């Protein structure tokens, strides 16, 4: 039985910070204070029905136990599951209590601004990257690679930012694929509510810039490899999440509310507006125009409709080049270098392409499974194609990165295999205590494979 989270905020020296991005209406605060329950259901013998549950608009939460899947919703979701013929029971219930804004200790820098017990805000992530680059100009450069949907609309929003970390020589950290050093790209929080993933990116940046010259493994890595980190793929979405303060809003998608807005969908785990960036990539893309679904895949009837998606595709092409003929069954060419990892939560699994289907394997299946097995030894997470472990996920990042460009691209879902660090918003102590030791080894392993992932 899993422990429910304590939802109290430690006040102490915290001060509330008034700034752009935290504007939250009194009505929204009152609604959160009134106490909505987020209910997780165990759905029995549903392992073959993941796609059907998704198609019914239910929020399958990337976790399984034997033949059971888990669905997140509210008190009404149980009836919906019964009506669909599933046997389900409540496995976890989280009560949302009083709202508290993101905050930082008096005198602390913006990079220490946090919510929900320690999770960093978008502005804190960006300030941390800037601080790393200004303290270590020989090691780190911050690159703006696009604009979020809200930014493009002139409605606030954020620049899309990456940091390149390497012992820089002439020509390093440039946005073209002709780099001297091979590249590893780490990306987090494409799904905004998967808040522990961004912390892994934050910690890896600090680990690298702090370890050069003192930690031989870091020194060697940065002398030979460019490490790129995008800590927040979906900053507009994360801004919605962090506005929940100590009760993060379980928003998954971006903030492109063209098709439907908060008035129509609400903003709960099971119903929300926006587009799922990780169903929007245009390789084996599939249409889902249900506006309040978790996996709405487009705003205009086609893939690549979202600026966050297109900007990431352009970043990949700039960092890695094109090593594969589109849609063909050929392997990436012998010169293909580079590895990439997209972090999610909270199934506790390692996913390799293809993700749109599990009835076909990629031409690189053997090296992918070799790398999956190696990573599995760090975390104990099982590895395989998405449809074998959970459900098929068309329009995802890895299928595009590998299918169009030939990048050795993986997804890892953080997780605790049913333990107390499962959930989208685990206690902050899980970041250091559970996830970081696994992930540090995993990131360093994949960075080490950047020179020749297919050999």
Number of residues that bind Zn ion (CB under 5 A): 2
Question: Which has the closest alpha carbon to 54: 353, 295, 347, 402?
Answer: 295
Nearest distance from C-beta of residue 50 to Zn ion, angstroms: 14
Nearest distance from C-beta of residue 212 to Zn ion, angstroms: 31
The nearer residue to Zn ion, 161 or 191, going by C-beta atoms, is 191
The interface with Zn ion within residues 335-394 (CB under 5 A) comprises 344
Window 190-219: contact mask with Zn ion (x via CB under 5 A) = -x----------------------------
Nearest distance from C-beta of residue 219 to Zn ion, angstroms: 33
Query: Which of the ranges 160-168, 185-193, 306-314, 366-374 carries the binding residues for Zn ion, by CB under 5 A?
Result: 185-193
Nearest distance from C-beta of residue 345 to Zn ion, angstroms: 7
The nearer residue to Zn ion, 254 or 364, going by C-beta atoms, is 254
The nearer residue to Zn ion, 324 or 344, going by C-beta atoms, is 344
Torsion of CA 102, 291, 234, 451, to 10 degrees: 150
> How far is it, in rounded angstroms, from Cα 54 to Cα 397?
19
Query: Which of the ranges 99-107, 115-123, 189-197, 232-240 carries the binding residues for Zn ion, by CB under 5 A?
Result: 189-197
Nearest distance from C-beta of residue 259 to Zn ion, angstroms: 21
> How far is it, in rounded angstroms, from Cα 174 to Cα 350?
30
Confirm or reject binding of residue 251 to Zn ion (CB under 5 A): no
Nearest distance from C-beta of residue 196 to Zn ion, angstroms: 11
Query: Which of the ranges 91-99, 146-154, 187-195, 335-343 carries the binding residues for Zn ion, by CB under 5 A?
Result: 187-195
Tokens at 95, concatenated = 């009560």
Contact positions vs Zn ion (CB under 5 A): 191, 344
């Amino acid at each position: 039985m899993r422990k429910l989270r304590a939802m109290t905020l430690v006040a102490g020296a915290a001060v509330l910070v008034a700034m752009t991005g935290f504007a939250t209406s009194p009505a929204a605060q009152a609604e959160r204070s009134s106490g909505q329950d987020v209910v997780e259901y165990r759905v029995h013998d549903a392992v073959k029905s993941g796609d059907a549950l998704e198609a019914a608009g239910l929020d399958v939460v990337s976790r399984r136990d034997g033949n059971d899947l888990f669905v997140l919703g509210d008190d009404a979701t149980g009836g919906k599951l019964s009506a669909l013929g599933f046997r389900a029971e409540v496995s976890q219930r989280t009560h949302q209590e009083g709202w508290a804004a993101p905050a930082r200790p008096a005198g602390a820098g913006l990079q220490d601004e946090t919510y929900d017990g320690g999770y960093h805000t978008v502005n804190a992530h960006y300030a941390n990257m800037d601080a790393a680059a200004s303290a270590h100009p020989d090691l780190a450069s911050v690159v703006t690679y696009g604009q979020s949907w809200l930014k493009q609309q002139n409605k606030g929003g954020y620049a899309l930012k990456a940091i390149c970390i390497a012992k820089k020589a002439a020509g390093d950290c440039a946005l073209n694929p002709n780099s001297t050093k091979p590249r590893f790209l780490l990306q987090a929080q494409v799904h905004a509510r998967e808040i522990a993933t961004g912390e892994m990116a934050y910690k890896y940046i600090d680990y690298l810039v702090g370890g050069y010259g003192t930690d031989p493994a870091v020194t060697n890595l940065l002398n030979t490899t460019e490490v790129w980190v995008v800590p927040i793929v979906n900053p507009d979405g994360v801004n919605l999440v962090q506005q929940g303060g100590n009760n993060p809003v379980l928003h998954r998608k971006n903030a492109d509310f063209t098709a439907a807005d908060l008035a129509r969908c609400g903003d709960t785990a099971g119903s929300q507006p926006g587009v799922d960036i990780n169903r929007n990539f245009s390789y084996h893309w599939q249409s889902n125009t249900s506006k309040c679904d978790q996996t709405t895949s487009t705003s205009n009837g086609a893939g690549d409709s979202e600026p966050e998606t297109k900007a990431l595709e352009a970043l990949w092409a700039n960092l890695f080049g094109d090593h594969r003929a589109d849609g063909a069954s050929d392997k990436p060419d012998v010169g293909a270098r580079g590895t990439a990892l997209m972090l999610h939560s909270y199934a506790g699994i390692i996913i390799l392409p293809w993700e749109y289907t599990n009835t076909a394997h990629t031409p690189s299946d053997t090296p992918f499974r070799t790398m999956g097995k190696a990573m599995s030894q760090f975390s104990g997470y099982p590895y395989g194609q998405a449809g074998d472990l959970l459900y098929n996920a068309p329009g995802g990042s890895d299928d595009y990165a590998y299918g169009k460009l030939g990048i050795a691209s993986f997804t890892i879902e953080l997780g605790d295999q049913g333990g107390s660090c499962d959930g989208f918003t685990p206690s902050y102590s899980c970041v250091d205590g559970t996830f970081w030791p696994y992930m540090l080894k995993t990131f360093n392993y994949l960075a080490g494979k950047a020179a020749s992932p297919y050999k």
